[in-house]
Chains A and B, each alone.
Chain A
Amino acid sequence: MNRRHVLAGAASVVTAAALNPAWAQFKPTRPVEFVVHGGPGSGNDVFARALIAIIDQEKLSPVRLQVANKPGGGSTTASAYVMSKRGDPNVIACFTNAWITDTLVQEAANNRIVDMSPIVRLVVEPALVVVRADSQIKSMADFINAAKEKPGALKMSGGSITSRENVVRQLLMQSTGARWAFISFPGGGERIAALLGGHVDMMIVDPSEAGEQVRAGKLRPVAQVNDRRLPGFPDIPTLKEAGFDIPNVPQMRGIVGAPGMPADAVAYYEDLFQKVTKTTAWQKFITDNQLDGEFVKTAELKPFLNKFEGQLRDILKEAGAKVVR
C-alpha cells in the first residue's frame, strides 16, 4: 500500500519537494474528508466550500475534498469526530475560536484542538465597533463616557457569552471601568436588526456584515478591532489608536488534522493551503469578505493556540462564564 501510493504520487513529489524537501512523501489517494462544525450554509461551511472551489479551480489536489457537516453542540460533535479519526491522514477540519471556547466552558466538550494536529491558520476576521448613524456617539470615547454616565443602561447586541464581541466588551469594561449590557441573539441578522431598529446602542460586527450598512449611511463605525486598519476603512482608528490598549483577540479560521496525523501528511496540507493563499481567487475572496489573510504556519500555530487558550480562559472567567478546564 505504502509503496504503491509513493509511486503514484512520484511525479508531483518533485514539485512539492521544492518547498518541503524533508516531508513531501504523503499524497492523498482517496477523497479527503473536510469536516466543518456547522450545517450547510453556516459561516464555516461556506468558508470550507469556497476553499474547495479554489482548490478545484486551480487543480491543487489530486483527489477531491468533501465537506462533512458535523453540526451539534457548537464545535463539539465535529471535534469529537476528528478526535475519533486518530492517525488518519485523510481527515482535516476547519476550526474557529469556538473549538477552543467550547472546550473551556462545556463539561461535555473534552476534545481540545491542541491535542489534534493543528496545520495552518488561514484568516483572522477583524471587526468593527458600530453605532447607528444618527446616534450622538461619534467615537469610541463617546461611547465609553456615555456608558460611565449611566452604568448598565447602554446595550450592545451580540452572540453567545463566549463570542469574541463579548470578550472585547469584557476587556474594554475592565480597562475603562465603564459598564454596559450584552444582549445575546442567535443570528447575525437579528443582531443588526436590533441595532438598526434602535433597540440596542452598539455592536461589534464583521466588516462584511456591516460594510453595506455603513456605505448606505445607516451605521457609523467608531473603531476597529484589529492590529491594523482595514483597507476598506482607512479613516477608522483601531481600538489601540483610539486610546484603548486592550489585548487583541483574533477571530480566526484555520485547518486542523486528525490527532496523530503523520508529519508528512501535515506538511502536505500545510503546503496545499499555502498554495491556496497564493492564488488570485483567494486574494479576491479575502478582499470581498474584508478578512485579514495573515497566514500562520504549522510550526508557529501550536504554540500560538496554547497561549491563546490560556488567554481566553482568563477572559471568560472574568466575563462570568463557568470555566470547566
Chain B
Amino acid sequence: MEIASGLLHGFAVALQPANVFWCFVGCFLGTVVGIMPGLGPAATIAMLLPLTFKMDPSGGIIMLAGIYYGAKYGGSTTSILLNIPGESSSVVTCLDGYQMARKGRAGAALGIAAIASFVAGTVGVIGLTLIAPPIAAFALSFSSPEYFALMCLGLALVVLLSGPSLVKGLLALLLGLWLTSIGTDLFTAQSRFIFGQATLLGGIDFMVVAIGVFAIAEVLAGIQAGEKAKLLPVPSGIRNLLPNWEELKACRFAFLNGSVTGFLIGVLPGAGAAISSFMAYGVEKAMSKHPEKFGTGVPEGVAAPEGANNADTGGALVPLLTLGIPGGGTTAIMLSALVLWGIKPGPLLMTEAPDVFWGLVASMYIGNVVLLILNLPLVPLFAQLLRLPVYILFPIILGISIVGAYGASGRLFDLGLLVGFGLLGYLMVKFEYPTAPLILGFVLGDAMERALRQSLMMSQGDLTTFVQRPISAIMLGLAVLILLSPLLRRFNQARVRAIAENG
C-alpha cells in the first residue's frame, strides 16, 4: 500500500506542467545525444549541470534521468543504419540490426529497437517501483567472486558469437582481452603495454575500438567489394518501414528476456549496460530455435540487447536511489547533481525526499511513453538515410565515425588508433575472423581481471573461493557448460552418425 500511495504522490509531482516539460526536454536531449556517437549521457549531464542549479530538485532529476534513459533509446539508431555503435551498450545491436538494414529492413529494426526499449524500459521502472529495496540487498550480496563468475559467463558467450570457427573466435577474444589490459593497472599503478606513449596510460577508449572494427572496417570492405553506386534497398510506403507482425511475434521472448536480464545486471554496481546487452543477446541465441540465423539479421537479435540496455537504466537507479551508491559514470554525476541541489542521496532519500524519489519514478513511466512517441515517427525518416548512394553514404559514415571517436576523448591520438582498428577490423572480416568476440573481450576483460585479483586478495590466494560461494559456483558451472556445448554437440552428432552407420 505504501508503494501505491508513493506512486500516486509521484504522479502528482511528475504531472505538474513544469515537470512534464522537463521530462520532455530530458527525453528529447537524450534521444539526440544517443543518436550522436561519442557524445554520451554522462558528458551531456555534466555540461548541463550548472544550468540546473536553480531548478527545483524534482524537475532537475526528472530531466537528467530523461537524458540518461533517452540516450539508450537513440543509441541504436547509428548501430542499425550505419554499423556505428552510438554507445557502448549498443554494440551488440550492430550484429543483427545492421544486417537487417542491409536486407531492407532498417525501418523494421529501428521500430523493434524502439518497441523493445519501451517495453523493457517500462519493465525496468516497474522493477524499480515494486522491488527496489529487496533487489538492492541482492546487489550488495554480490562480491568479487560473483562478479568474476558473471564475467566468465559473459566470456563463454564467445561460443555463440564465433560463427563457424571457434578457434578464430577465441583468438579474436584473446586479442580483445589483451587490448583492454593496455594502460595503468589499478592495483599496482604500473603501466602495461603503453610502448612509451603517455597517451596510452589511461587505456584505449572503448568507442574507438568499436567504431573502428565495425564502421570503418565495413566501409573498407564495402569499397573493396566495389559497391560503387549500389543502393541499399529501402522499401517505399510507411507500412514497409515499420516492423510487421511476424517480426514482432518473433521478438516476444526477446522483450521479456531483455527486460529481466537488463534489469538484474543493471542493479549490480560493478557490471554496466554493455554487459547486460551482451548477456541478453547470448541468452536469446542460446534459447533460440534457429541460433544459426543470428548475425544475419534476425529481429530478436535487435530486441534482446536493445531491451536489456534500457531495462538496465531502471536497474542502475535502484542502488542509486535506495542506497546512494552510483553504479557507473552517469549515475555518479546524477548523485553529485542531487548533492548540489541540497538533496542528500542515500538510504534515507525515499523517506526524506519522496518528491524526488517517487516523482522521478513516476516521470519515467511518462518518459518512456514520450520516447516511444518521439522515436517511432523518426523511424521512416531515418530509414530514408540509406537511400543515399554509397559514394555519399560512406563519407558520411567516416565523418560520423571520426567525430564520434574524437568526441569520446578529445584526443587526436585516438583518430590514429581509429584508423588502426579500422584496418584490423577489415583484415579480420577479410580472413573471416568474427569481430564480436574481440569487442566482448575488450568490454569484459578489464572487469574480469579486476574481479579475479580482488577475489584472490580477499581469500588470501585460495582459489576454492569461487566454488565455495553458491552463486559464483552456479555461474561458473554454466560457463563451462556453454564452453563445452560445441564439443558435446559434435560428440552427439558423431554418436548419432555411428549408430546410423552400424544400425
Rounded to whole angstroms, the CA-CA distance of A106 and B202 in the bound complex is 12
Task: Report A-chain residues with C-beta under 8 Å of the C-beta of B411.
Answer: 72, 77
Nearest-neighbour CB distance to chain B for A323, whole angstroms, equals 10
Instruction: Jot down 25 A-B pairs with beta carbons below 8 A, ordered by A.
Output: A40-B42, A46-B46, A73-B183, A74-B184, A74-B201, A77-B201, A106-B201, A181-B458, A183-B457, A184-B186, A184-B187, A184-B450, A186-B186, A187-B332, A189-B269, A189-B328, A196-B325, A208-B339, A212-B348, A212-B349, A213-B324, A215-B346, A216-B347, A216-B348, A321-B188
Assess whether A196 is in contact with B323, with CB atoms less than 8 Å apart.
yes
Q: How many positions in chain B have a CB within 8 Å of any CB in the partner chain?
A: 64
Q: Knowing A41-B332, A49-B49, A108-B191 touch, does A185 contact B43 (C-beta < 8 A)?
A: no
Q: Choose from B49, B191, B346 the contact partner of A46 (Cβ within 8 Å).
A: B49
B139 in contact (CB, < 8 A): yes
Interface 0/1 of A287-324, CB less than 8 Å to B: 01100000000000000000000000000000001100
User: Looking across the interface, which residue of chain B has its beta carbon closest to that of A182?
Assistant: B457
Interface 0/1 of B398-439, CB less than 8 Å to A: 000000000001110000000000000000000000000000
Nearest-neighbour CB distance to chain A for B269, whole angstroms, equals 5
A62 in contact (CB, < 8 A): no
Q: Knowing A73-B199, A109-B198, A190-B270 touch, does A212 contact B346 (C-beta < 8 A)?
A: yes
Nearest-neighbour CB distance to chain B for A230, whole angstroms, equals 16
Residue positions of A touching B, CB distance < 8 A: 39-41, 43, 45-46, 49-50, 52-53, 56, 69-74, 76-77, 80, 101, 105-109, 152-153, 155, 159-162, 181-190, 192-194, 196-197, 199-200, 208, 211-213, 215-216, 218, 288-289, 321-322
Assess whether B198 is in contact with A321, with CB atoms less than 8 Å apart.
no
Task: Report B-chain residues with C-beta under 8 Å of the C-beta of A71.
Answer: 202, 409-410
Question: Which of B319, B345, B347 counts the most chain A CB atoms within 10 A?
Answer: B347
Assess whether A73 is in contact with B202, with CB atoms less than 8 Å apart.
yes
Shortest Cβ-Cβ A-B pairs, 10 listed: A212-B346, A73-B201, A40-B46, A41-B333, A216-B347, A197-B140, A72-B202, A108-B198, A199-B143, A40-B43
Assess whether A105 is in contact with B328, with CB atoms less than 8 Å apart.
no
Assess whether B202 is in contact with A77, with CB atoms less than 8 Å apart.
yes
B340-371 at interface with A (beta carbon < 8 Å):
340, 342, 344-349
Q: Choose from A46, A101, A106, A108 the contact partner of B336 (Cβ within 8 Å).
A: A46
Task: Report B-chain residues with C-beta under 8 Å of the C-beta of A69.
Answer: 410
B43-99 at interface with A (beta carbon < 8 Å):
43-47, 49-50, 53
User: Looking across the interface, which residue of chain B has its beta carbon closest to that of A69?
Assistant: B410
